[in-house]
Structure 1
């Protein structure tokens, strides 16, 4: 596809500048622009937003990692190395003593400091451990479907590969962050999907019908928003049976997050529909016999698509932050479920963080994902806005 026209004004032909009755032919570029569909124009405008485009690529990479977490992670989720408890991260190197070797890490020399009983790990330049790619390692069940042991990268034979260090049980933090992304990033999608269903349903009914329906929805929203969030979440979380499997707990937390977030979207949809339902195109559709659901879904909601896109892009990181914060406080997901918030529970003690700062590394992907969703939302909103 060739580059899109830079702006509509650059290719606008002013009829007043030509004599009446004379047809002015459009250039090939103008003709292609004016004949392009809505989604094509949105894509052209979105491509000009470089930061949003880069954020979209980053999020796509994250979700590809989520799909193939078992393959990308160097170790199994529950693999323990008791000889390397609270081991610091190993740095990647390419050159050893001026000679190119390829990606490798230096092995550790370990000793126990008898004065403070602290484990001390010192990189040994004599222990060069080249990385292996597409190699056999810890066995795993890919999405619980079949057994496999193929990994993207592995440590050298008899060596270690702890790119983000290890935790108190000797488990690789980098592998656990990758596995945690599967829960933390998908809980946002499921929660937002439920939020949009509830928000569009109740907000659409309140905005289109008004009157008693609007009053009932507004009072329900006010009652729900009057409860403090943390105590309400604690109450709803306590309802979940302790006998549930981690998968059921995961869906339960997603539903709870959706129940807490839909009122804001419902209010926004209501306010938009209250103004749009009086427009001529809505009246014309009603006179032609269109049903209320068709008027709302085919005529009113598409009129503020840019607002819905921005709401979705902001709701997903809100869900991720909510799950991370609540799991960090012990109110959300709990082991054996692994998420970024669950991983951060080991960093609650400031003394532990001072000794083992790499336990805070799960917060890095949280920051990257939240920023990427915000930048992507800005780009999508601008691209979908017909007035820009």
Structure 2
């Protein structure tokens, strides 16, 4: 029998494999959570970031309205009816011809046209009204609680006048009224969206999770509400508000009216997401693990929709602001003494105002446009950042 010789062959050695080197930034992104990834994508959208800062500034203006406003919104001076805006100058020349730094505005001189008997205002260079920061002014209560007389900017002498944005038909400072209106208009949109958010998320979750007759009833309700003409229905509901109600009661009723029709779109979107996610593996695993229906909805499915809901809510805010502005502009929403952007526009809707005092229309309309565009850009940026298929 032939002998077999076994030769130990050396194992073949291939080229050395070097592990891929990843930077610390790539590793941190790979290990980042959902909200970190959303924030990283959102920061790349510079327009959305700027819009976000504008929104924050508007809400800060509303929060500290009493301190930021040079005066009180209802203080009227008939001798300055429809006075034009004053411009700020920073240097003044004294009697000796020396120029020094002193922020100030120029006073007014009134003149009457002998033909039309119309009173006009002319800037008087001889009247210098010094202004400064953190000055004493009319007394107020911050948030209705803290008494104070300190204002961010205003004339050094409280008896002087400073109208940087002009005055209205009653001689009231438009800048002070616009700042106080920011609080009402921005907060009514926020409160309305919170109410719509609760209704839309709750009913949309129930509709998409249970299906069947629950889904049928909720969807028919949504269709009935969506088929109603919005503006005429708003007009009818707002006109039903008794004129004897206080401004605070009217404020909350207008908020309810605005939010009554704002939840249907969100409810449909949440329903569609629930339909898509209720059969996923993580939901089945949670169900087999003994999770109840409430836990499945609020602890497993709904958190996965948080970023999308947040983007939808941001896009819904300008709709609420425009709705309140439209109702107040038509004279059936908020009314004096409450001050909102719509109330200011309602005061400036006659032809004489547009021709003789256009600033009464420009500034409130500009505030509405700025807020709506900022919310839209912010919402678009958040929606793109929350999209898992985006970049």
The answer, yes or no, to whether TM exceeds 0.5 is yes
2:385 maps to: 383
Within 5 Å, give how 1:86-97 maps onto structure 2: 86-96=82-92
- Residues 225/35 of structure 1: CA separation in 2 closer, same or farther (3 Å cut): closer
8 Å CA contact 2:135–2:156 kept in 1: the answer is: no
In the alignment, the residues of structure 2 paired with residue 117 and residue 207 of structure 1 have an alpha-carbon distance, to the nearest angstrom, of 69
- Residues 100/324 of structure 1: CA separation in 2 closer, same or farther (3 Å cut): farther
* 1:358-380 deviation digits (Å, cap 9, x = unpaired): 11021111111111111111222
* Secondary structure, counterpart of 1:261 in structure 2: coil
The number of equivalent residue pairs is 371
Identify the range of structure 1 (22-31 vs 100-109) with the bigger mean alpha-carbon deviation.
Answer: 22-31
Deviation at 1:227, TM superposition (A): 2.2
1:29 maps to: 25
2:160 maps to: 159
Deviation at 1:44, TM superposition (A): 2.3
Structure 2 residue 368 is matched with structure 1 residue 372: no
8 Å CA contact 1:344–1:362 kept in 2: the answer is: yes
Within 5 Å, give how 1:4-43 maps onto structure 2: 23-43=19-39
In the alignment, the residues of structure 2 paired with residue 381 and residue 371 of structure 1 have an alpha-carbon distance, to the nearest angstrom, of 15
Unaligned runs of 5+ in 2: 1-13
Deviation at 1:277, TM superposition (A): 1.7
8 Å CA contact 2:312–2:383 kept in 1: the answer is: no
Within 5 Å, give how 1:328-339 maps onto structure 2: 328-339=329-340
8 Å CA contact 1:163–1:174 kept in 2: the answer is: yes
Deviation at 1:163, TM superposition (A): 1.0
Within 5 Å, give how 1:51-66 maps onto structure 2: 51-66=47-62
* 1:212-233 deviation digits (Å, cap 9, x = unpaired): 1111011111222222222322
Deviation at 1:23, TM superposition (A): 4.2
Deviation at 1:258, TM superposition (A): 1.1
In the alignment, the residues of structure 2 paired with residue 43 and residue 218 of structure 1 have an alpha-carbon distance, to the nearest angstrom, of 34
Deviation at 1:348, TM superposition (A): 1.4
Q: Which of 1 and 2 has greater Rg?
A: 2
After superposition, the CA RMSD in angstroms is 2.1
Query: TM (normalized to structure 2)?
Result: 0.89
Query: TM (normalized to structure 1)?
Result: 0.90
* Secondary structure, counterpart of 2:79 in structure 1: coil
* Secondary structure, counterpart of 2:103 in structure 1: strand
Unaligned runs of 5+ in 1: 1-17
Structure 2 residue 223 is matched with structure 1 residue 222: yes
8 Å CA contact 2:341–2:364 kept in 1: the answer is: yes
* Secondary structure, counterpart of 2:80 in structure 1: coil
In the alignment, the residues of structure 1 paired with residue 352 and residue 50 of structure 2 have an alpha-carbon distance, to the nearest angstrom, of 37
Structure 2 residue 46 is matched with structure 1 residue 45: no
In the alignment, the residues of structure 2 paired with residue 292 and residue 110 of structure 1 have an alpha-carbon distance, to the nearest angstrom, of 73
In the alignment, the residues of structure 1 paired with residue 189 and residue 320 of structure 2 have an alpha-carbon distance, to the nearest angstrom, of 5
1:145 maps to: 145
* 1:143-187 deviation digits (Å, cap 9, x = unpaired): 211321110111242432111110111100010000000100000
